Amino acid sequence: MIIAILIVATIVDLALAALMIGVSGFIFGSGPQSAHGGSLLLAAYGAGVIACVALPVAGFIFKARGKAGLGILLAWLPPVAALIVMAIPAPY
């Protein structure tokens, strides 16, 4: 059961990373529809994409070392954080 939860978390994390990469042109691009994001936003965005890829791997490593609860928590952290960030209202 724990393996299934980690596999689903990995699929969700990789889908979130693909979505973030696909949408990044609208945030950091040079076109008229771009938000022209700054360097701090770029660093945070890059850290988010890296977390979406690295944390499921860390979840499987922690599961192999006998800390399955921590592994599941780490694997589901990016989707939960994305939901929390999306719940914050826009400042305009």
Q: What is the pLDDT of residues 45-63, one digit of tens each?
A: 899 999 999 999 999 999 9
- State the average pLDDT over residues 11-28: 91
80 inside domain: yes
90 inside domain: no
pTM for this entry: 0.85
Query: Which run of H or of E encompasses 31?
Result: none
Q: What is the pLDDT of residues 20-42, one digit of tens each?
A: 999 888 888 777 877 777 888 88
Residue 19 tokens read as 């979505």
Q: How far is CA 39 from CA 18, 19, 42, in A?
A: 21, 20, 5
Rounded Cα distance between 25 and 73, Å, is: 30
The whole-number pLDDT of residue 33 equals 75
Is residue 81 predicted with pLDDT exceeding 90? yes
The structural domain count of the chain equals 1
**Percent helix, percent strand, percent coil in the chain, to nearest 5:** 80, 0, 20
Q: Which range marks the domain in which residue 54 is found?
A: 2-85
The whole-number pLDDT of residue 24 equals 85
| Positive or negative torsion for Cα 51, 52, 54, 55 | positive
